[in-house]
Structure 1
Amino acid sequence: MRQGTHVFGSLISCAAAGTLSALLALASPLAAAAESGKITIMVGGINKLIYLPPKLAESLGYFKDEGLEVELQSQPAGVDAENELLAGAVQAVVGYYDHSIDLQSKGKEVLSITQLLVVPGGMELVRSDLARDIRSMADLKGRTVGVTGLGSSSSFLAQYLASRNGLKVSDYSMLPVGAGNTLIAAIKQKRVDVVWTTEPTTSLLLSSGEAKVLVDMSSADGTRAALGGLYPASSVYVQGKWLQSHKPEAQKLARAFVRTLKYIHTHSAEDIAAKMPADYYGGNKVLYVQALKASLPMYSTDGKMPPDGAEQVLKVMAGFNPNIKGKKIDLSKTYTNEFVDQIK
């Protein structure tokens, strides 16, 4: 209450002084950042390998090379990052492309301007003590599925895999457990039976014997087997209204990210890991490098939406989501290759 009174008093003072610009700056703190050209990018879990490109681009100085002042922030789940974007608190998000389709069904226009991953890059893991009872997603009846957040891409994938195996949403429950340490704790405390996770958490759980692989979507073959096709995942997405007035900045962002993707495909896992903060290793650099080495094929080589990629994601989303099934979704308003196509 005291903080709200202080802010209200400040606004009144600004108005009394007739300083309209100061009033607007207080009412909308991000206006000043936008005015200065600063771009804040929210990442749905910045230390996950599926979201490696933004931190790597920063470490390599690629944003600065483009003349961009970029601040990276992190949220534990993509849905939280998405909410920050819709609130106008950030200019861009690094999260799964499927949010663009989900948001269009809710009347929001968000577009991916650079595709970072061609597959989801993660796995559904089952607790080791339940591995004999849960052999596929068809065995989830009465079980609890751990997801990063409700409405997150991990929940989208879990719901689709369950529906593909004949289950209804009411047959199982979903529990938001975040990622990393909180997810590992949920497994150890037996609060979840199956959980979606990505590297390096996947390798930590498998190497410790806490979990076993149920569905592998870290590779192209595994993704096709699970979903019936590729599933373009991590991307850089922005609001349509921001894009209309910030095309030069979007072009620079796309160029920095595509350059980063090219670095990933022309350097070793050891070279890439050396550019990342030490605390990303989870206390085990050797395991981190191994996980990164196995993950390199999941990254896009050119930042473009793969042929039929958007259609495949829509097919998956429509498979379980009543807000999308049977609804007209204009995929051309969920992504664009306009900026990556200009990069040589």
Structure 2
Amino acid sequence: MRFTRTLFHTVALSFVVSAASLGAAAHAAEKITIMVGGYEKQIYLPAKLAESLGYFKEEGLDVELLNESAGVDAENQLLAGAVQGVVGFYDHCVDLQAKGKFVQSLVQFSQAPGEVELVSTKHPEIKSTADFKGKSLGVTGLGSSTNFLTLYMASKAGLQPGDVVTIPVGAGATFIAAMQQDQIQAGMTTEPTISRLLKTDEARILVDMRTVETTRAALGGTYPAASLYMETAWINGHKEEAQKLANALVKTLQFINTHSGAEIAEKMPKDFYVGDKEGYIKALDAGKGMFTPDGVMPEDGPKTVLAVLSQFSKNVKGKQIDLSKTYTTEFVKNVK
């Protein structure tokens, strides 16, 4: 009788342990989908690099990266619950709070936008942002970060709303075609689009925001840009996963900080080079200083972002924004 009871307990215990193990495995395998606002763009490099280096898997995460060329559309996917996170500009966290939606930058990738205002070489008359009057300027999308930054630079040069027209042209091939066809006379874009147009001598740099110093000169302060942002409720309800994401991405930022452009390029998909590996590496070496070494939000950054949006985002204008709720450093500061 005692043997039967012991056997029953052993079998029951095994069943409980197996059920618990299955539950843990199911929990660990829960997919986290992250939409990237153009993962071939160097400003969003840490997302694809973390995947390539195997850092997500090392943390026991099942992360799927989806590609979406415009940050505004990625933001909509997050709010619809189609994805758990977005790799995009931090300013969406400020903009969304004005609409009563709470999202936070979990890991701050960059402390400078990594954007450049390019001018078509067909238009030598454009010598400064003051010469934008009457011109059509390319941006990623209307309501995008590039749109707000373009309008902010125009206003700093003394131009009024209506003096310029912003045209949504995306990035890469669509941006290049718009400039070649003179649909836009200038436009804001990132690498590798910048290098492609400079190499063919179809454009020149007017404003460079790929470093902290040049960004301060152009905008009056540090401008935190690329980040992984997620809904605050999701972060609070998935602290273990949030910490693992922070671990993987901070490790990736440290890799960027301690390796050359050539070493980083070797870890990236070959089609990201767009047929010019040397140019890709050169752009990486020139621009990787935009990335934070530790994923921490720069202290003075959120104020600069709010200053830009307060002028040009109809959502933010006149609203009270609690900047402390637009980002968290809890997880990046816990990375060992």
Q: TM-score, normalised by structure 2?
A: 0.90
Indicate if the aligned counterparts of 1:148 and 1:176 stay in contact, CA closer than 8 A: yes
Counterpart Cα distance in 2 of 1:58 and 1:143:
41
Alignment match, 2:44: 51
Structure 1 segment 24-39 matched on structure 2, within 5 A = 37-39=30-32
Q: Does 1:125 align with 2:118?
A: yes
Contact preservation (8 Å) 1:40, 1:73: yes
- Structure 1 residue 287: Cα displacement: 0.6
Distance in 1, Cα, partners of 2:115 & 2:303: 20
In the alignment, what sits opposite 1:91? 84
Q: Return the offset for 1:146.
A: 0.6
Q: 1: distance between equivalents of 2:28 and 2:316? A: 36
For residues 125 and 169 of structure 1, the distance between their equivalents in structure 2, rounded to whole angstroms, comes to 21
| Superposed counterparts of 1:307-318, under 5 Å | 307-318=299-310
1:90 alignment partner AA = V
State the match for 2:263 in structure 1. 271
- Partners of 1:70 and 1:166 lie apart in 2 by 45
Q: Tell me which residue corresponds to 2:165.
A: 173
Q: Does the CA-based 8 Å contact 1:163-1:319 persist in structure 2?
A: no
The answer for the alignment partner of 1:258 in structure 2 is 250
1:217-243 Cα deviation digits (max 9, x unpaired): 111121011001110110000012211
Structure 1 residue 220 corresponds to structure 2 residue 191:
no
Quote how far apart the aligned CAs of 1:329 are. 0.2
Q: Deviations over 1:184-210 (max 9, x none)?
A: 111111111111011111011111111
Could you tell me which runs of 5 or more consecutive residues in structure 2 were left unpaired when the two chains were aligned.
1-25
Provide the aligned C-alpha RMSD in A: 1.4
2:258 counterpart SS class: coil
CA separation of 1:133 and 1:34: change in aligned 2, threshold 3 A: farther
CA contact (8 A) 2:28 2:61 kept: no
Quote the Cα distance in structure 1 between the aligned partners of 2:64 and 2:27: 12
Q: What is the distance in 2 between the residues matched to 1:302 and 1:35?
A: 25
Q: How does 1:126-275 map to 2 (within 5 A)?
A: 126-130=119-123, 132-275=124-267
Greater displacement, 279-288 / 168-177: 168-177
Aligned partner of 1:277: which letter?
P
1:257 maps to amino acid: L
Write the deviation string for residues 96-140 of structure 1: whole angstroms up to 9, x where unpaired.
00111111111111100100011001101111111x321122212
Shift of 1:267: 1.2
Note closer, same or farther for the CA distance 1:322–1:164 as it changes in structure 2 (3 Å cut). farther
Query: What secondary structure, in the 3-state scheme, does the structure 2 residue paired with 1:99 have?
Result: helix
Match of 2:330 among 328, 338, 343: 338
Separation (CA, whole Å) in 2 of partners of 1:101 and 1:59: 30
Distance across 2 between alignment mates of 1:139 and 1:109: 38
Query: 1:324 deviation in Å?
Result: 2.2
Letter in 2 for 1:48: K
Q: 1:163 touches 1:320 (CA, 8 Å); kept in 2?
A: no
Give how far 1:42 is off. 0.3
Contact 2:221 2:300 in 1 (8 A): no
Larger radius of gyration: 2
Matched to 2:158, the amino acid is G
In structure 2, what is the Cα distance between the partners aligned to 1:80 and 1:340?
Answer: 27
User: More deviation in 99-108 or 314-323?
Assistant: 314-323
Structure 1: which 5+ residue stretches go unaligned? 1-32
CA contact (8 A) 1:39 1:90 kept: yes
Cα distance in 2 for residues equivalent to 1:60 and 1:298 = 20
Q: 1 CA distance for matches of 2:241 and 2:60?
A: 9
- Residues 34 and 155 of structure 1: CA distance in aligned 2, closer, same or farther (over 3 Å): farther
Question: How far did 1:322 drift?
Answer: 4.1
Cα distance between partner residues in 2 of 1:44 and 1:198: 12
Aligned counterpart, 1:26 = none
Whole-angstrom CA distance in 2 between matches of 1:93 and 1:167: 33
The CA deviation at 1:141 is 1.7
Alpha-carbon offset, residue 70 of structure 1: 0.4
Offset, 1:35: 9.9
Q: Distance in 2 between matches of 1:141 and 1:296?
A: 32
